[in-house]
Amino acid sequence: MSNWIGDTFTSDVGWTHLERLVDIGNRMAGSPGEREAMEATRDALESVGARNAHIDSFDIQGWERGDSAIFAHNTTQECIALPRSPSETATGELVDLGYGLPEDFDRDLSGKVVVVSSTVPDHYDRFIHRREKYYYAVEAGAEAFVFANHVPGQLPPTGSVGTAEAPIGNIPAVGVSKEVGARLGRRFEGEEVTVEVTCETPATDSGNVHAELGPDTDEEVLVTSHLDAHDIAEGAMDNGAGTAMVVELARALASREDELETRVRFVCFGSEEVGLVGSEHEATRLGDDRENVKAIVNNDGVVAGRTLKLHTHGFDELEATVEAVEDRFDHGISTIPEQLPHSDHWPFVAYGVPAFMVGSEREGRGRGWGHTHADTIEKLESRTLREQAILLTELTVELAREDREIPHADPDDIAAALEDEDQAEGMKVTGDWPF
């Protein structure tokens, strides 16, 4: 065991791939940069010894950023369009709804431009996702949606407002920094403002990168990430680091291939940031063969903090697998049993497939630097990637053991868990309720 640990702790394979990805620049879903990331990841997986490395392409509705602005009196306030916003201009009375909790939208917002925060109060029982706030605004009749960051530093946030089924949103949507959001509320509350978004929505394509290791069994463990990133930044944390981790895990597992008792398939999804399009495509492609997916290790948010944080979605055997790895390495790993319906594991979990959502512990609530211009590589450390790769390699080998049985769930039980956790209402509002 010690040889592979030492090799992983000194490996530069994953970090080098992370540098390769962030240096591409724009990896927006359907862009040439995303295609370059696919090809580079396919080649990287092949170079570390994974077999059958290839790209499975699929069509998507593209979205290309133009200009955007908020005009208030004789001022122009800086903003960025949220992907899948329609190309429109809307004028209305500015209303600052604060946190933008569901009850804040319980009014007629016809003729209003609404401003909401990117966070919720610390005492609030659940996080309200950006798209949930957006659709509450749409349902209440708002003319435009302004999403204000809660993190200081002149960082307007991005994030999609569409879904795979309804890729273009209903009203123009923009992100503004905390400072611009505060200025709008202080100076222009109750005043008429105009939100302008220009964009293009060409038909284009995306794709998922596949490769595999281990025996040719019907049952398989999926190790996944997403390749795409928002076009305003390098996408180092979200999610270059996740894809770099997949490559590093492939390298480590290739050296332990004789220990794998179940096939391990690596899938790096395209188009996650615009509605989990790549993972939805793969879950649909598998159809009834989803029953053969023993477990999923989805990497989205790794390396941002030193301690791994794994959502287990109520699967007790996944929790037990983590405990086995913790005990073996005397190394703490955080686990959260609740559902997390916001990354590429989710189209599988909704069918009852056991899955980890693998991130890392960070201070504060929300994305931090994520989805802003500040999502850059210098905020990450190569030692963290290596340390986490050691733990996740062992976790994957443990999942692949023949005697490690991980029962699938009844989708009705997943739905009930979402109801119990007060997440169902928001998913129904955004059109993400799959049951």
pLDDT at residue 366, as a whole number: 64
> Mean pLDDT across the stretch 76-93?
97
pTM of structure: 0.96
Q: Indicate if the pLDDT at residue 1 is higher than 60.
A: no
- Residue 236 pLDDT exceeds 80: yes
Each residue's pLDDT tens digit, 139-167: 999 999 999 999 999 999 999 997 777 88
Q: Give the pLDDT confidence score for residue 365 in this predicted structure.
A: 63
Mean pLDDT, rounded, for 403-431:
95
What is the Cα–Cα distance from 201 to 257, expressed in whole angstroms?
A: 44
Q: Is 203 exposed, middle or buried (0-12, 13-18, 19+ CB in 10 A)?
A: exposed
What percent of the chain has pLDDT above 90? 92
Give the type of residue at 402: E
Domains of the chain (ranges plus CATH)? 3-62+203-421 (3.40.630.10), 64-201 (3.50.30.30)
User: What integer pLDDT is reported at residue 111 of this predicted model?
Assistant: 97
Rounded alpha-carbon distances, angstroms, from residue 30 to 26, 68, 229: 10, 21, 11
| Amino acid 90: pLDDT | 98
Q: How many residues does the chain have?
A: 435
Mean pLDDT over 177-194 rounds to 98
In this structure, of 21-25, 31-35, 122-126, 349-353, the range with the lowest mean pLDDT score is: 122-126
CA–CA gap between residue 373 and residue 157 (Å, rounded): 8
Per-residue pLDDT, 219: 98
pLDDT given at position 167: 85
* E strands present in 43-119: 51-61, 64-72, 75-77, 80-81, 89-96, 112-117
pLDDT tens readout for residues 348-389: 999 999 999 999 998 766 667 889 999 999 999 999 999 999
Mean pLDDT score, 78-106:
97
